[in-house]
DNA sequence: CCAACCTTGACACACCCGTGGTAAGGTTGA
DNA sequence: TCAACCTTACCACGGGTGTGTCAAGGTTGG
């Protein structure tokens, strides 16, 4: 077996996630490690780096795993992406007023507690 | 006042949403009606169409308002979009196996109950 | 052989989302 | 004036998300 593949608890230690969350992240399709012949998860350098940058991505923008999972769906289901794009394209024209982006605060409030904790 | 602008309860009636949800959708930045001088929401034909197609968009793909709200953030915050794209681009190469898309079922399970109800 | 790993599955818990309701108050039109 | 609208701001509540923990069992290395 390659010496640079870590088990789930070792990977948890070096990335800051818990082993529980590594399984959760895998189930969401975000980081899927290879498996040993007997089914053990094996995290290589690429997966470890991916887990660290995932943490940064979430913290930097105040989003959650769910959002990243949805972005994954947008990449992998072109009809979904196209349908969403089409809906936004039909946005009614109201060019004046460029409001204080209140919806932005609204969207970000959802994770403010998490970030504070 | 233009005759083709409906109040919130009238708009609720013709679109199938509740008045409560129309306010919620507005707060999420998805459909923002104009206001009368005294602050009443005025839904024009464009907004009404938008509300109907929003309902179809959610039903057709098993997603929620939260997902559409996140897609809106992706459109309006280029740095967020770029960061998410960059994270996916760094996906570790594992070209074989093209697995049964289990993550897809996982992502869609979240709304299966809603669709059934 | 056995301790120390790993696996999947389930229960639990706090918090957030979607939705309804209600209260307190402003607007409108007959 | 006054009934019937509208507004914002709360409380409530079922179900989903993110996280921990535990049980029952397979794997591994000394």
pLDDT digits (tens, 9 = 90+) for B57-99: 998 888 999 999 999 999 999 999 999 999 998 866 554 444 4
Helix axes A102-116, B65-76, angle to 10 degrees: 110
Q: A50 and B80: CB-CB below 8 Å?
A: no
Choice between A37 and A2, residue whose per-residue pLDDT is larger: A37
What is the Cα–Cα distance from B36 to B60, expressed in whole angstroms? Answer: 34
Tokens of A20: 């529980």
Tell which B residues from 14 to 53 touch A, by Cβ distance under 8 Å. Answer: 27-29, 32, 34, 44, 46-47, 49-50, 53
Distance from residue A67's CA to nucleotide C6's C1', rounded to whole Å: 30
First to last CA, chain B: 39
* Nearest nucleic acid nucleotide to A27, CA to C1' distance: C8
* Per-residue pLDDT reduced to its tens digit, A12-42: 999 999 999 999 999 999 999 999 999 999 9
What is the Cα–Cα distance from B76 to B83, expressed in whole angstroms? Answer: 13
A78: closest CA of chain B, how far (Å)? 12
Beta bridge partners of B43: B6
The region that residue B91 occupies, defined by phi over 0 for left and psi between -120 and 50 for alpha, beta otherwise, is beta
B104: closest CA of chain A, how far (Å)? 8
Global confidence as pTM: 0.82
């Amino acid at each position: 077996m390659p010496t640079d593949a870590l088990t789930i608890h070792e990977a948890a230690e070096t990335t800051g996630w818990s082993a529980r969350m590594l399984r959760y992240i895998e189930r969401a399709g975000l980081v899927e490690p290879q498996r040993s012949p007997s089914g053990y998860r094996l995290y290589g350098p690429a997966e470890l780096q991916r887990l660290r940058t995932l943490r940064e991505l979430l913290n930097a923008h105040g989003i959650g795993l769910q959002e990243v999972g949805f972005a994954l769906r947008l990449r992998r289901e072109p009809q979904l992406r196209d349908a969403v794009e089409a809906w936004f394209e039909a946005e009614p024209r109201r060019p004046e007023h460029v409001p204080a982006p209140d919806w932005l605060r609204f969207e970000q409030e959802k994770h403010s507690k998490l970030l504070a904790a």
